[in-house]
Amino acid sequence: MIRLAVLISGRGSNMLSLADAIEKYRIDAKIVLVISNKDCDGIALAAARGLATKVVKRSDFDNRPAHDAAIASSIENCRADYVFLAGYMAILGAVFVDQFAGRLINIHPSLLPAFKGLDTHQRAIDAGAKTHGVSIHLVNAKLDDGPLILQASLAVDETDTAKGLAGRVLQLEHQIYPFVLFSLAARTVTLLPDGVVWHAKTLAAAPAAMQTVLAPCVIWPDVS
């Protein structure tokens, strides 16, 4: 069974989508800890679901390395196999990233390497992008960087607003993140400190609901 720690900073919708998928699709995984760097709606929702939670406030520490170290200690203490960042809005230092190399995963609302950082949906519209979407990647010391695990795309309509586009991308997020967790549990993907190996580039083993959403739009990375 995969033991999963999830880091959040806000509403926690991707964290909840993971929890829902584990239950609904009987994924061989368990969320053992939800950590936030501040009090937020997601922590309250996780607690209401019976998930273990912890708030590690940046303001309680003299510097970022000390804050990172406290979070890392909590993750190690709960014996998490992987750490999923799900709307975690603080930058993690190189020491933390190195400690969890090959186990630290982020979801970003754009087709990386395009539109790293914030306000991705409005920036995609302003740039006249024809496609937009979501990326899941291994984390390295650079912002929104690291080897791609999987992406999913959708067409940008000329009538799209940032809010509307964000809503459609969020629907993809809520399918693609659970699919990556499913794939880790099914051992169809292996994450290494510096890369990704897909043993089967297929959705066939995934639950039908995931296949229906992702089949038209999944983008497999150019890896083995």
- Domain assignment present for 144: no
pLDDT band of 190, cuts 50, 70, 90: very high
Domain co-membership, 17 together with 120 = no
> What tens digit of pLDDT does each residue of 150-165 get?
999 999 999 999 999 9
Q: List Cβ<8 Å contacts ≥24 apart for 55-58.
A: 58/90
Residues 77, 3: Cα–Cα separation, whole Å: 12
CATH number for the domain spanning 26: value is 3.40.50.170
- Domain assignment present for 169: yes
Question: Is 121 known to be catalytic?
Answer: no
Give which of 147, 138, 146, 217 is closest to 176, Cα–Cα.
217
Domain co-membership, 123 together with 217 = yes
Domain co-membership, 215 together with 119 = yes
Out of 108, 121, 137, 174, the active site residue is 108
Q: Please state whether the predicted TM-score (pTM) of the whole model is above 0.75.
A: yes
- Domain assignment present for 193: yes
- Domain assignment present for 113: yes
Domain co-membership, 80 together with 116 = no
- Report, as an integer, the average pLDDT of 120-124: 97
Residue range of the domain that includes 29: 1-100
Domain co-membership, 122 together with 187 = yes
Domain co-membership, 61 together with 119 = no
- Domain assignment present for 83: yes
> What tens digit of pLDDT does each residue of 6-25 get?
999 999 999 999 999 999 99
Measured CA distances, 46 to 42, 71, 176, 212 (Å): 6, 17, 20, 27
Give which of 184, 191, 187, 185 is closest to 223, Cα–Cα.
191
